[in-house]
Structure 1
Amino acid sequence: MASAGIGRVQAIEALTRKSLWLASWMVHHANHIRPNIDGVKVGGHQASSASMAAMLSTLYFGVLRPEDRIAVKPHAAPAFHAIQYLLGRQTRQKLVDFRAFGGAQSYPSRTKDTDDVDFSTGSVGLGVAFSAFASLVQDYVRAKDWGGKDRSEGRMIALAGDAELDEGNIYECLLEGWKHGLRNCWWIIDYNRQSLDGVVREGLYDRIESVFKAFGWKVVTLKYGALQRAAFAEPGGDRLKAWIDACPNAVYSALMFRGGAAWRERLSDEIGDQGEVSALLSRRSDDELAALMANLGGHCVASLLDQFENADSEQPTVFINYTVKGWGTPLAGHKDNHAGQMTSAQIEQLREAHGIREGHEWEPFEGLEQPETLQAFLDKVPFNTKSSRRLTSPAVPTIGPQFIGTGPTSTQAAFGRILDAIAKTDSEMARRIVTTSPDVTVSTNLGAWVNRRNLFASKEMVDIFQKEAIPSTQKWRFTPEGQHLELGIAEMNLMLMLGAAGLSHSLFGERLLPIGTLYDPFISRGLDALNYACYQDARFLLVGTPSGVSLAGEGGAHQSIASPLIGMSQDGLASFEPAFADELSVIMDWAFDYMQRSGDARPDLADWPRDVTGGSVYLRLSTRTIDQVPRDAKALPINDIIRGGYWLKPPTPECDVVIAYQGVLAIEAIEAAGRIGGDRRNVAVLAVTSADRLNAGWQAAQRGHLHGDQTTVSHIENLLSEVPRGAGIVTAIDAHPATLGWLGSVLGHRTIALGVEHFGQTGTVHDLYRHFGLDAETIVAAASRSGSRRS
């Protein structure tokens, strides 16, 4: 595609220069021109944006289609925002306010930015791996008999710095992609050979290439630009090429910073012969020689277009594009340029080079020739669709709570039975559920679901054990109709898969209801990716089980302590820890609806619970079997269960003490209440199903009071208002005591918080509960200290 009077390559080159200037000016303006009231460094990444300017421009202005999805290198955010501005998808004011409140974000953000961000980036490496899981989810969706099959397949693309490849989650992802037949995935490496703190080690390229080839990726290397290839064809050019190939990274970077005269001196000393090579050098001025040596493949639009347009989508492909960090700026090549910024003198030098008049710094075509022709070119760019690239999918109707009876059970076992009951239905909800687990499918009670709904694979695979007539409780049939994605033992991969599946409605126009299970203590191993998935507003149900020191025989490494606090503090994640199967049934039914909500309220400002905007849900479950409360499902306090708590035994005006428990400590709490009642002291029992929901509701009420709304009363305030002020509270949880310890602050009741603060060990549940002071006897003793002392 070209416009009259300007070729396609020339148009992209001009827009590359413009995006480079805008990105550089954006950072300079934020740090040196815009008033800085608090004096804290604003920051930005001029050099990292510069090294990727040509690649980003070639993609957005020449290669990408609307259905492609892109994760941009976080440190190239200024260049990305500049390109979106040129495409008309970002406002000038957002650029002016870069890194200010309400302005373009420091790193591309799907939820905080208003321009066209597909995948948030920021915690380096996660956006790269996320693109691979998004591709796997796209294949999953297209394998189903759903109406969205007619949509064009998009390429899932990640642009990454070479230093990002130090992140371990990238290599965990490579293995998973190999196992699942990854396709339609491009990773584009900005190989500038510099990291945050210096220049990368020699030989990195060979390691990168060998790793990707080992996992079945096609490796495309673009080292030389068109200018360099033309010079290599001249007499003596072979010696110049050999010198470039042998030049250490640090030397090349240093010479880039020093400029044309330094290049001439070094090349003349090392390969100049007063013959062909000397003639090659002498035909070029210092500026032309500097431009030649800077013309690596990652900065050459013609070369980039050629490599991208000839790439195949069936095989995952990594493009290793040689670049110079800080290309096209006075910072080029300097080892301190990552967080460094151009001085006022250097930005003026860049201004002069780009022909930018003072006061016209933000103009889209300032300093460029044929602005009308360039605008016409932009209007016809394939990626520049006028419609939203964020798709929609209608909410799936829920089918109501699935109650499984009142026999003794654990919440983990109840979860499996509830899911199996859903699997038996011929409902749209059952068809839209997709489960996944990091090699703990059976031990987290997904086995019945998988046997009924099968494992997913793009092609049918025979269950060899079944074919050989070997008895097995697991019918491991792989089929395109399957609804379980089996992962290896890597919790980061689990969270990234949940994040990708949880955005399927927006990315691919088809609603999924993802459920991921893992051992509860290992949530911490995937916490960065969990936070990342929530930051993108992905929707999923995360099930952590088994949990706590009630997993007594497994020892401290398998006994979670802090996970309820993670559930409380993680934005975008509503966490629950029910004790009984009927509570779990109610919560799961609510969760499938909550995961699909999409109200207009801003998630960062909405009052909690986020019943307008929705979010993801985390269930903390246990393997400990407990007797169920015999009660009619119709009489369940459903709203209170969802809001976080209800009275299992309500207080009376003579109440001395409240025992508030969460999860499996229901057994000890009920036993302790019985003992205290036998002592003729009035005791109430508060069943907390979600400390997270209770606390968030209370916090929202306090914010309302601060803003003048004195009528707002939270659920926990209503509950505790029934308790005499002189009564005490004993809280008990198989986790950190701070989870419930705040209850005394609500209305000022004296509180003793029981829980686990140290690593557990092996033993029986009775041994460990007595050791940690969670047994009924300790609860009774605490109640006697916290309760009122009436004569």
Structure 2
Amino acid sequence: MDHRPMTTHPMDEDRQFETSHQYDPPTTNSRPLRASSSADATVLDEIAQRVLWLATGIIDAANRGRENADGLKVGGHQSSSASMVGIMTALWFSQLTSRDRVSVKPHASPVLHAINYLLGDLDASYLTRLRSLGGLQPYPSRSKDPDTVDFSTGSVGIGATAPIWAALSHRYLASRIEDTPPAGRFYSLLGDAEMDEGAVWEAIIDPEVRQLGEVVWIVDLNRQSLDRVIPDSQIQRLRGMFAAADWQVITCPWGRRLQETFSRPGGEVLEQRMRTMPNEEYQRILRAHPAEIRDRLLRGCTAQHAAALTELLAGHDDGALAELVRDLGGHDLQELQSAFAAIDDTRPTVVFAYTIKGRGLATEGHPNNHAAQLTEEQMQELAEASGTSLQDPWVRFPEDTAAGQLCAEVARRLRRERFTPAVPPTVPAELGWSPKAVTSTQASLGRFLSDLRRAAPEVTDRVVTVSPDVASSTNLGGWINKTGVWSLAGRHDWFSDDRERLLKWQEKPQGQHIELGIAEVNLVSLAGELGLTGERWGQPLIPIGVLYDPFINRALEPWTFGLYAGGRSLMVGTPSGVTLAPEGGAHQSINTPSATLEIPGLTSWEPAFAQDVEWVMLEAMRDLLDPDGGSAYLRLSTRPVEQSLAKVPEDELLRRRRREQVVAGGYRLSAHPAAEDDVTLVGAGAIMTEVCAAAETLAGHGVRAGVVCVTSPSLLFRALRARREVAATPRSAILETLFPAAHPRPLVTVMDAHPHTLAFLAGVRGDETHTLGVTAFGQAGTMAEMHRLHGIDEDSIASAALDMLGR
């Protein structure tokens, strides 16, 4: 079957190369030669037809060929996969090298598995197990699929941008570590509907991205969405937007047969007709009977043009004409090879490949084909056209055939080099410096990075900080002054002679801070890819992202998806809470402790004191570098806190015990044992000042209040679940230390956040619990006014305790 479809909107030039500033090719990205693009066209077409069959069959087996006890639709995307077959066949079988990495659009995952199967990278047993437990995932997954998947792409738009951040991460790594394995190109295969995602444009316009010549996007331009045919063509606008961002733009609209027809007498009339017809009209032509297509093309033409077009098409019978109007560049493998050969490695490239959704299937071009499934009769017809059968659907090409030999050659070419992973540095237990008498946890972050540089330089060398234009306001100024800002090419510092400048913004390839403008989505996406350098190239990094705590909600979905994809990072949210009183409700965060508690693979922390910040940061780094570890989120505050309230033991043994409790999730501040509590006050973060003050107030009323400082609500919640499910571990035993089962007491929990975060503590031993926190949007005012307004001030805490005691 021919793989050259037609576009679903007005067409543009056959291929256009936009001009932009030129950059030197990257010196850190030594690439092997591109694969030969001279593979026999007939063989490539044969392989593409088999890929179409396998991808369609994988979905068919999951829906029509598998028992479904649930009665729920299994689903899959046969049409969306079909439009990508030509693009992916041309790319894998004539272009990719072992060093390249590819992000595949979510709905084309069956095509990826079909190709991997033909290359011997997937066992046949998985082909019938799409969307089943332990089988092929609905969308490409790095961690869950059994075959080679470079990027998880289930979240539309986020997977599309991931190769950009992977390329940037490799550039950063290579600029810092000499023996970094080389990388090739970073491809993103995406649907045109993904162009609507804001994350796409945030990434495209980043100033560092325009220098990433190894980044290539290939857009499957089929102009259909889930529910409808797109009524308006945006290709001109899209091309202009990419070109304005200094990307090379290549369009691949027509197949060779249409181009040849355009070159004949009268061909310019057909070309003009094809270019200017509305997208919906073209889609309707695809669904028309072959006998109707000639008349539909002639509609709207002037008499002179109609005569020229009639003469031009006279040499085509109805069937041939139906195939001709489907001859689009995204299905013509030789046209795609030519487009790939034109890629300029000095700047990022986007290739717009015109396709038909469902090309080669009975659902081809249908406006409602997104989730449509072929019938058994239609599958039989496809099997016959593909040289296979429903009875033996998974046959590979014989080794002695040209197609079999090409599959074997490509499998050898794509076999990746093995490397010896670097041994990560040992993170110390503590750094050995005492904090200031009065300081905030936010200020402690800056101090921590400075101390880490002196105490553990080998660990510091692996640290890279990222922020969305809030570096100075989150206390990274000292770190940036010492390490510099990372930039691919470096920029001249025009303020180097300004003696009044506190923040030195020296941009250089050796810097360790990456600035991303006001773009939280870019921040978390880059941090995730920086956290994957150990898996991709054997050189682990410690990415630390800093952003305002309320803005984590803006990036929550891409950040969560990055964690799902295996990208580890250490995120710091600061400032936080209504304690940021004068800023008002717009910047006062409420839900972040609760939201981050619920994310798999993430430990959320809210330390109250400077020493806790140090211990928690070191623990988070150890966890990030541990193959079985995870990511972390620290919620910090600008509120200055009297550090003596922490009562850090001076005795070495007791200090070590305190540190162990801090990293386990919490500790008691009270000098007396829990058995002597009348009531237990539980707090987290900067609100511990009020909690300790309330305990003193209660003491004045003859009430002995115990004080528990929670450092990680998520660890305590895990400890509670672990205690119910398995034998106690050192970490789960922290609950017995904080809330001994033999001494139940009323609890008052307090957070400068939603009280739901600590409400689960009532279930530790069944205590009566009063939860205090923030349940309304904040206002501007003084800190004392905000605390009183939300009922988390000293008097409110003490009153809640007295109420529970009936006093």
> Cα distance, 1:214 vs. partner?
0.8
Could you say which residue in structure 2 is the equivalent of 1:20? 52
Aligned counterpart for 2:712 among listed residues 666, 686, 690? 690
Aligned counterpart for 2:596 among listed residues 567, 575, 579? 567
User: Which is further off, 350-359 or 238-247?
Assistant: 350-359
Structure 1-normalised TM-score? 0.92
Residues 414-442 of structure 1, C-alpha deviation per residue, up to 9 Å, x if partnerless? 11111112234572211111111000000
Tell me, in whole angstroms, the C-alpha distance in 1 between the residues paired with 2:511 and 2:193: 38
Give RMSD over aligned pairs. 2.4
Could you say which residue in structure 2 is the equivalent of 1:107? 139
Tell me, in whole angstroms, the C-alpha distance in 2 between the residues paired with 1:356 and 1:624: 70
Q: Would you say 1:753 and 2:771 are equivalent positions?
A: yes
Q: Which runs of 5+ in 2 are unaligned?
A: 1-32
**8 Å contact 1:404–1:418 — kept in the other structure?**
no
1:438-517 to 2 correspondences below 5 Å: 438-467=468-497, 469-517=498-546
Tell me, in whole angstroms, the C-alpha distance in 1 between the residues paired with 2:202 and 2:420: 29
Secondary structure (helix, strand or coil) at the match of 2:410 reads coil
Residues 109 and 747 (structure 1 numbering): CA distance in 2 closer, same or farther, change over 3 Å? same
Tell me, in whole angstroms, the C-alpha distance in 1 between the residues paired with 2:735 and 2:456: 42
Could you say which residue in structure 1 is the equivalent of 2:24? none
Q: Which runs of 5+ in 1 are unaligned?
A: 599-612
**8 Å contact 1:378–1:384 — kept in the other structure?**
no
User: Which is further off, 58-67 or 504-513?
Assistant: 504-513
Residues 274 and 429 (structure 1 numbering): CA distance in 2 closer, same or farther, change over 3 Å? closer
1:278-289 to 2 correspondences below 5 Å: 278-289=310-321
Could you say which residue in structure 1 is the equivalent of 2:228? 198
> Cα distance, 1:306 vs. partner?
1.2
> Cα distance, 1:337 vs. partner?
0.9
Could you say which residue in structure 1 is the equivalent of 2:10? none
1:489-638 to 2 correspondences below 5 Å: 489-598=518-627, 613-628=628-643, 629-632=646-649, 634=652, 635-636=654-655, 637-638=658-659
In structure 1, give the amino acid aligned to 2:786. Answer: L
Residues 281-323 of structure 1, C-alpha deviation per residue, up to 9 Å, x if partnerless? 3433333222222120000101111111221211111101110
**8 Å contact 1:460–1:479 — kept in the other structure?**
yes
Residues 432-490 of structure 1, C-alpha deviation per residue, up to 9 Å, x if partnerless? 111110000000000000000001112232221124x4421111111111111111111
Residues 420 and 2 (structure 1 numbering): CA distance in 2 closer, same or farther, change over 3 Å? closer
Tell me, in whole angstroms, the C-alpha distance in 1 between the residues paired with 2:289 and 2:399: 30
> Cα distance, 1:713 vs. partner?
8.8
> Cα distance, 1:537 vs. partner?
1.3
> Cα distance, 1:724 vs. partner?
5.0
Aligned counterpart for 2:240 among listed residues 197, 205, 210? 210
Aligned counterpart for 2:758 among listed residues 740, 745, 748? 740
**8 Å contact 2:220–2:352 — kept in the other structure?**
yes
In structure 1, give the amino acid aligned to 2:736. Answer: N
**8 Å contact 1:701–1:713 — kept in the other structure?**
no
Could you say which residue in structure 2 is the equivalent of 1:61? 93
> Cα distance, 1:394 vs. partner?
2.5
**8 Å contact 1:698–1:715 — kept in the other structure?**
no
Tell me, in whole angstroms, the C-alpha distance in 2 between the residues paired with 1:183 and 1:784: 66
Aligned counterpart for 2:192 among listed residues 162, 165, 190? 162
User: Which is further off, 397-406 or 330-339?
Assistant: 397-406
Aligned counterpart for 1:420 among listed residues 450, 453, 473? 450
1:129-144 to 2 correspondences below 5 Å: 129-144=161-176
Tell me, in whole angstroms, the C-alpha distance in 2 between the residues paired with 1:784 and 1:621: 30
Secondary structure (helix, strand or coil) at the match of 2:717 reads helix
In structure 2, give the amino acid aligned to 1:562. Answer: N
Residues 385 and 393 (structure 1 numbering): CA distance in 2 closer, same or farther, change over 3 Å? farther
Structure 2-normalised TM-score? 0.90
In structure 1, give the amino acid aligned to 2:803. Answer: R
Residues 390 and 692 (structure 1 numbering): CA distance in 2 closer, same or farther, change over 3 Å? farther
Residues 409 and 417 (structure 1 numbering): CA distance in 2 closer, same or farther, change over 3 Å? same
Tell me, in whole angstroms, the C-alpha distance in 1 between the residues paired with 2:411 and 2:94: 7
Secondary structure (helix, strand or coil) at the match of 2:545 reads strand
- Higher RCO (CA 8 Å, separation ≥ 6 residues): 2
**8 Å contact 2:79–2:358 — kept in the other structure?**
yes
Residues 513 and 180 (structure 1 numbering): CA distance in 2 closer, same or farther, change over 3 Å? farther
**8 Å contact 1:727–1:787 — kept in the other structure?**
no
Residues 502 and 463 (structure 1 numbering): CA distance in 2 closer, same or farther, change over 3 Å? same
Could you say which residue in structure 2 is the equivalent of 1:375? 404
In structure 2, give the amino acid aligned to 1:563. Answer: T
**8 Å contact 1:698–1:716 — kept in the other structure?**
no
In structure 2, give the amino acid aligned to 1:614. Answer: G
Tell me, in whole angstroms, the C-alpha distance in 2 between the residues paired with 1:508 and 1:293: 46
Residues 51 and 233 (structure 1 numbering): CA distance in 2 closer, same or farther, change over 3 Å? same
In structure 2, give the amino acid aligned to 1:618. Answer: Y
Residues 177 and 113 (structure 1 numbering): CA distance in 2 closer, same or farther, change over 3 Å? farther
**8 Å contact 1:129–1:169 — kept in the other structure?**
yes
Tell me, in whole angstroms, the C-alpha distance in 1 between the residues paired with 2:176 and 2:765: 53
> Cα distance, 1:196 vs. partner?
1.4
Residues 194-239 of structure 1, C-alpha deviation per residue, up to 9 Å, x if partnerless? 1112122323111101111111111100001112112223333222
Tell me, in whole angstroms, the C-alpha distance in 2 between the residues paired with 1:14 and 1:270: 38
In structure 2, give the amino acid aligned to 1:87. Answer: L
Secondary structure (helix, strand or coil) at the match of 2:575 reads coil
User: Which is further off, 779-788 or 328-337?
Assistant: 779-788
Q: Would you say 1:668 and 2:690 are equivalent positions?
A: yes
Secondary structure (helix, strand or coil) at the match of 2:80 reads helix
Residues 484 and 521 (structure 1 numbering): CA distance in 2 closer, same or farther, change over 3 Å? same
Tell me, in whole angstroms, the C-alpha distance in 2 between the residues paired with 1:147 and 1:7: 34
Could you say which residue in structure 2 is the equivalent of 1:297? 329
> Cα distance, 1:62 vs. partner?
1.3
Could you say which residue in structure 1 is the equivalent of 2:63? 31
> Cα distance, 1:672 vs. partner?
1.1
Secondary structure (helix, strand or coil) at the match of 2:495 reads helix
> Cα distance, 1:384 vs. partner?
4.5
Secondary structure (helix, strand or coil) at the match of 2:572 reads strand
1:694-709 to 2 correspondences below 5 Å: 694-704=716-726
**8 Å contact 1:660–1:686 — kept in the other structure?**
yes
In structure 2, give the amino acid aligned to 1:314. Answer: T
Residues 389 and 155 (structure 1 numbering): CA distance in 2 closer, same or farther, change over 3 Å? farther
Q: Would you say 1:72 and 2:89 are equivalent positions?
A: no
Secondary structure (helix, strand or coil) at the match of 1:176 reads coil
Tell me, in whole angstroms, the C-alpha distance in 1 between the residues paired with 2:418 and 2:453: 33
Tell me, in whole angstroms, the C-alpha distance in 2 between the residues paired with 1:22 and 1:91: 13
Aligned counterpart for 1:255 among listed residues 285, 292, 298? 285
Residues 86-128 of structure 1, C-alpha deviation per residue, up to 9 Å, x if partnerless? 1111222222110111111111011111211111101111112
In structure 2, give the amino acid aligned to 1:264. Answer: R
In structure 2, give the amino acid aligned to 1:57. Answer: T
Could you say which residue in structure 2 is the equivalent of 1:606? none
Aligned counterpart for 2:701 among listed residues 667, 670, 679? 679
In structure 2, give the amino acid aligned to 1:165. Answer: M
Tell me, in whole angstroms, the C-alpha distance in 2 between the residues paired with 1:380 and 1:352: 27
Secondary structure (helix, strand or coil) at the match of 1:464 reads coil
Could you say which residue in structure 2 is the equivalent of 1:609? none
**8 Å contact 2:379–2:390 — kept in the other structure?**
no
Could you say which residue in structure 2 is the equivalent of 1:226? 256
Residues 624 and 579 (structure 1 numbering): CA distance in 2 closer, same or farther, change over 3 Å? same
User: How many pairs are equivalent?
Assistant: 763
1:703-722 to 2 correspondences below 5 Å: 703-704=725-726, 714-722=732-740
Residues 105 and 324 (structure 1 numbering): CA distance in 2 closer, same or farther, change over 3 Å? same
Tell me, in whole angstroms, the C-alpha distance in 2 between the residues paired with 1:696 and 1:44: 35
Secondary structure (helix, strand or coil) at the match of 2:461 reads helix
> Cα distance, 1:695 vs. partner?
0.2
**8 Å contact 1:579–1:689 — kept in the other structure?**
yes
Percent of counterpart pairs with the same letter?
A: 38
> Cα distance, 1:145 vs. partner?
4.5
